[in-house]
Chains A and B, each alone.
Chain A
Amino acid sequence: MRRRTFLKTVGGGSLALGVSRAVPATAQQVELKVGYMPHPIHENSIKWMKVWAAERKVTLTLVPISYEVYVEKMTANLTSRGGQYDVIWHNDDWGQLWGRYLEPVDDVPALKKLSRFIMEPYFQWEGHDTAVPFVETIGTFFYRADLLKDTEVPRTWDELIKTSQRLQKDGKVKWGFVGGMKYPHGWFTFFWSIWANGGDLMLPVHERRNAELAKNGWKSGLAQPEAVQAVEFWWDNIHTHKIAPPGQPGYSRDDANAIFMAGDSAMTMADTTLYGKFNDPKQSKVAGKISVTQFIIGPRAKFKSIAWRDPWAWAIPIHVDAAKKKAAKELLSWLNLTHDVQLDLWKATGGFPPNEDVQRELVKTDPVFRKFRAVTVESEKLIHGAFYFARWPEFFATAIDYLVRAVTGPRENIKATLEEGAKHTSEIAART
């Protein structure tokens, strides 16, 4: 082979190879890797993501991650700029931690359809929105409607005890109430009862702005009379009245849900998003027998009703490439703007659709949604279920440790344990 022929062959071959590689690159399918938690809400959202992806020939790769390790795993991914995920599940109580690692999403049109209450302060970073909610997570009381008429549903702590004891005595249920207690499940016992008794984890009560918490010296509310009384309430429920299982201080929300779904408890506290699961006859013995009511109010509360209102969202890591960001934003907007998606979310799971237009439509047409909304987001007091200062993860875990210690120790030590907890948690918050 002469030199010129050789160069032509090699040059032509290289060019052909380059073109052949370039063509599929431009027409290459976008792949979106979604990091999610196996949960009915996520699964519903993912079902619709698949519909969107199939229509646009986008490849979806789904990566399930257990809730127990989700923050750890995702934090490692975000801080190392790992390429494992293009769309990630985001939650209000991690907002302050991940803000700097997330793509601003102000340009997602669907955000205009959402209440700002479910965006601020957590999904804001340096003036930009950082996540697109796909459901509202609102805690509510579930009760057995086959055992309790509307008029018999307890409204106060005292009524909760008496009603539970009556049902237990009649052999209707093993327990009056069950709820998750251990870290990170304290919302379903300790937290709601502290809030429903007029207390809070930090002072001033119901304040979530860091500047205000700092102005007040990052003071913990754990040793306030409202919180002490709430822990005494649980201590009595477990040890004296025996309306809650003795193992409750070790329960996760899943343990509590299992007991409720087995028909062993008359009441539980859970996110509305569990409604679909509780009502699924394949999974639950109480399917078709449940209804919801508002938080049962404690003796110190100065209001008639209270609820928390927070979102679960999808977010996009900032280090994801531009094409993926564009596709992800289109997907997240579509999920919120498509009414079929939003309506299915509610009907299949009990999760509130974030799109306010859809909520208004449901209020008019769906009596069950109307009831859910009335006992939750239409409450007299509406708060966020977490705090948004930097040391919240440590504060949260430590607070629950003290609450568990108080409820499992001698009753007379509750106040002292919580005072120690208040001192410790205040120190943690002040390090922010």
Chain B
Amino acid sequence: MKGSRRRFGARERFMLVLILPAFAILVAFQIVPILIGANASFRSWSLFDPQKTFVGLANYRRILADPIFYGTVLPNTLVFMVGSVTGGLVAGLGLATMLNRKFPGARLVRVGILLPLMVPPVVAAIMITWMFNDQFGVVNALLGTLGLEPVPWLVYRWTSFAIVVMTDVWLWTPWFTVLILAALQSLPLEPHEAARIDGAGPWQVFRNITLPLLRPVLMVCIVVRAIDAFRVFDIVWTITKGGPARSTEVFSIYAYKQAFVYLNFDLGTAASLIGAAIIMVVGGVLYKTLSYVVEVSR
């Protein structure tokens, strides 16, 4: 009793009061909507039928049995996640390695490379859509000057999907570059010098010294970006809206369409919660991997 009173003394109460506004906002704008959403997912809840009849797990069963969900949406989301993270990581690593050297105008190049990070994703996506427009786009105009036939980029699944991934890579490469460059500049010089004295070439130094030393930073980048890529919405919605014929639909677009295009609020919320569960598992695995890698690298 005495111990408990000590734990919740005036100082602790003051601390709780300080936390309270943030907690209230969290409850009002995060926890309550999630609970309302969770409630909707167990009911028959659509715009035209506000009876909200309890249906148990029926909505979850329908989502999990939907061939579009498991046959298109989940593979697309995973391909997007892997493609976007790998592309951004490789490009970012390359650029960071290049920028880690001294050359005239290096500062200017660094600022230039950061520019895509400052472009709002929707603006970038609209710009890209116009670049790949089959009638007025610059890409087909360039193909035309080379004597090649114009390509209807946004009519086919894989060209559309490639454009979406490429846009995301373009937007996120600077982020990878900045983080990896900072890590490169903080690496100790001695192992590199020792390797060179022992006759290692630049590629051997990079592969056997630089990359292992960078591993913890690279893992953080991968985990953060992978979770973010799983939730992608803006770029896909702006460029393809999940089309043609739902072939580029990713997870968040699927949930959005269920709720706000088909107006099935129940299925939309069930899909969102299934997605939340999946990303928690994926995030957990990635986080465990990160912890392991960091531990091993020490």
Residues from chain B with Cβ under 8 Å of A71 in the complex: 260-261, 263
Q: Contact: A245 with B244, CB < 8 Å?
A: no
Check if B54 is an interface residue, CB within 8 A of chain A: no
User: When A75-B263, A394-B262 are in contact, do A250 and B135 touch as well, CB less than 8 Å?
Assistant: no
For the complex, give the distance between the alpha carbons of A76 and B262 in Å: 13
Task: Please report which residues of chain B, range 225-258, place their CB below 8 angstroms from some CB of chain A when the two chains form the complex.
Answer: 241, 243-246, 257
* B 123-165 contacts with A by CB, 8 A: 133-136, 150, 152-156, 160
In the assembled complex, the Cα of A246 lies from the Cα of B160 at a distance in Å of 14
A→B interface (CB under 8 Å): 68, 71-72, 75-76, 79, 96-98, 100, 182-183, 245-250, 255, 258-259, 262, 264, 390-391, 393-394, 397, 401-402, 404-405, 408
A75 touching B135 by the CB < 8 A rule?
no
B262 touching A405 by the CB < 8 A rule?
A: no
Residues of the A chain whose Cβ atoms lie less than 8 Å from the Cβ of B100:
none
Q: How far is the CB of B298 from chain A (nearest CB, A)?
A: 49
Q: In the complex, are the beta carbons of B134 and A246 less than 8 A apart?
A: yes
Closest to B49 in A: A390
**Considering the chains assembled together, what is the distance between the CA atoms of A97 and B245 in angstroms?**
24
Q: In the complex, which residues of chain A have a beta carbon less than 8 angstroms from the beta carbon of B246?
A: 401
Shortest Cβ distance from B140 into A: residue: A247
Q: Which residues of A contact B133 (CB under 8 A)?
A: 247, 255
Task: Select one of A183, A393, A402 contacting B243, CB under 8 A.
Answer: A183
| Residues in B whose Cβ lies below 8 Å from that of A75 | 47, 260, 263
| CB-CB nearest 3 A-B residue pairs | A247-B134, A247-B152, A72-B260
Q: A258-B136, A394-B262, A397-B261 are in contact. List 4 more A-B contacts (CB 8 A).
A: A79-B50, A246-B152, A246-B155, A248-B155
Closest beta carbon of chain A to B147's beta carbon, Å: 17
Distance to closest chain A CB from B28 (angstroms): 15
Is A250 within 8 A of B154, CB to CB?
A: yes
The reply to whether A247 and B263 form a contact with Cβ atoms under 8 Å apart is: no
* Dominant secondary structure at the A interface: helix
The residue from A76, A97, A264, A405 contacting B48, defined by CB atoms under 8 A apart: A97
B39 on the A face (CB < 8 A): no
Asked if A402 meets B261 with Cβ closer than 8 Å, knowing A96-B48, A249-B155, the reply is no
When distances are taken between beta carbons in the complex, the residues of chain A under 8 Å from B153 are 247
From residue B29, how far is it (CB to closest CB) to chain A in Å? 14
Residues on A with C-beta less than 8 A from B48 are 96-97, 100, 390
Chain B residue at smallest Cβ distance from A183: B243
B133, B135, B150, B263: which has the most chain A beta carbons within 10 Å? B135
Of A100, A245, A397, the residue contacting B134 (CB under 8 A) is A245
CA distance A343 to B30 in the complex (A): 51
10 examples of A-B residue contacts, CB within 8 angstroms: A72-B261, A75-B263, A182-B243, A183-B241, A247-B153, A249-B244, A250-B152, A250-B160, A391-B262, A394-B261
Contact of B46 among A245, A247, A390, A408 (CB under 8 A): A390
In the bound complex, residues from chain B placing their C-beta under 8 Å from that of A248 are 155
Residues of B within 8 A of A250 (CB): 134, 152, 154-155, 160, 243-244
Give the tally of cross-chain contacts (CB within 8 A): 84
Q: B264 at the A/B interface (Cβ < 8 Å)? A: yes
Contact (Cβ within 8 A) A397 B257: yes
Residues in A with CB closer than 8 Å to B263 are 71, 75, 97, 393-394
Whole-angstrom CA separation of A390 from B152 in the bound complex: 35
B152: which A residues are within 8 A, CB to CB? 245-247, 249-250
Inter-subunit contact A404/B245 (CB<8 Å)? yes
**Complex Cα distance A181/B281, Å?**
39
Task: Please encode chain B, from 16 to 40, with 1 for each CB lying within 8 Å of some chain A CB and 0 for all others.
Answer: 0000000000000000000000000
Nearest B residue (CB) for A184: B261
Task: Determine which residue in B136, B155, B241, B261 has the highest number of CB atoms from chain A within 10 A of its CB, and name it.
Answer: B155
From A79, A247, A393, A402, give the contact of B245 (CB < 8 A).
A402
**CA–CA, A182 and B248, complex, Å:** 14
Residues of A within 8 A of B262 (CB): 391, 393-394, 397
Contact B135 A401 (CB under 8 A): no
A262 to B133, CA, bound (A): 14
Q: Distance (Å) between the CB of A260 and the closest chain B CB? A: 11
Give chain A residues whose Cβ lies under 8 Å from the Cβ of B261: 71-72, 393-394, 397
- Complex: A288 Cα to B160 Cα, angstroms: 37
| A245 in contact with B135 (CB, 8 Å) | yes
Docked Cα-Cα span, A259 to B134, in Å, equals 11
**Complexed CA–CA distance, A393 and B258 (Å):** 10
In the bound complex, how far is the Cα of B243 from the Cα of A258, in angstroms? Answer: 21
Q: B156 contacts which chain A residues (CB < 8 A)?
A: 408
Q: CA separation between A394 and B264, bound complex, in Å?
A: 9
Q: Is A247's CB under 8 angstroms from B155's CB?
A: yes
Most buried by A among B47, B156, B241, B261: B47
User: Which residue, of A96, A100, A250, A402, has the highest number of chain B Cβ atoms within 10 A?
Assistant: A250
Docked CA distance A250–B150 (Å): 15
CB distance from B82 to the nearest CB of A (A): 25
- Chain A residues positioned under 8 Å from B241 (CB to CB): 68, 182-183
Nearest neighbor of B157 in chain A, beta-carbon distance: A408
Contact indicator B134/A404 (Cβ below 8 Å): no
* Chain A hits for B46, CB < 8 A: 390
Which residues does chain B contribute within 8 Å of A393, judged by CB atoms?
A: 261-263
CB distance from B58 to the nearest CB of A (A): 12
B135 to chain A, nearest CB (A): 6
Q: What chain B residues lie within 8 Å of A402 (beta carbons)?
A: 245
| Chain B: minimal CB distance from A159 (Å) | 25
Q: Which residue of B49, B50, B244 is within 8 Å of A182 (Cβ)?
A: B244
Q: How far is the CA of A258 from the CA of B135 in the complex (A)?
A: 10
Q: Which residues of B contact A100 (CB under 8 A)?
A: 48, 50
Do B260 and A79 have beta carbons less than 8 Å apart?
no
Q: Who on chain A is nearest to B135 by CB? A: A259
A394 to B243 Cα, complex, angstroms: 15
Give Cα A75 to B45, complex, Å.
14
User: Which residues from B are CB-within-8-Å of A79?
Assistant: 47, 50
Contacting residues, chain A, for B150 (C-beta < 8 A): 246
Closest to A395 in B: B262
Interface contact B244-A408, CB-CB below 8 Å: yes
- Give Cα A249–Cα B159 distance, bound, in whole angstroms: 14
Contact call B264/A408, Cβ cutoff below 8 A: no
A357–B85 alpha-carbon span in the complex (Å): 63
Q: A35 to nearest B CB, angstroms?
A: 16
**Do residues B135 and A404 form an inter-chain contact, with CB atoms below 8 A?**
no
Which B residues are CB-close (under 8 A) to A391? 262
Greatest chain B CB density within 10 A among A98, A247, A248, A390 is at A247
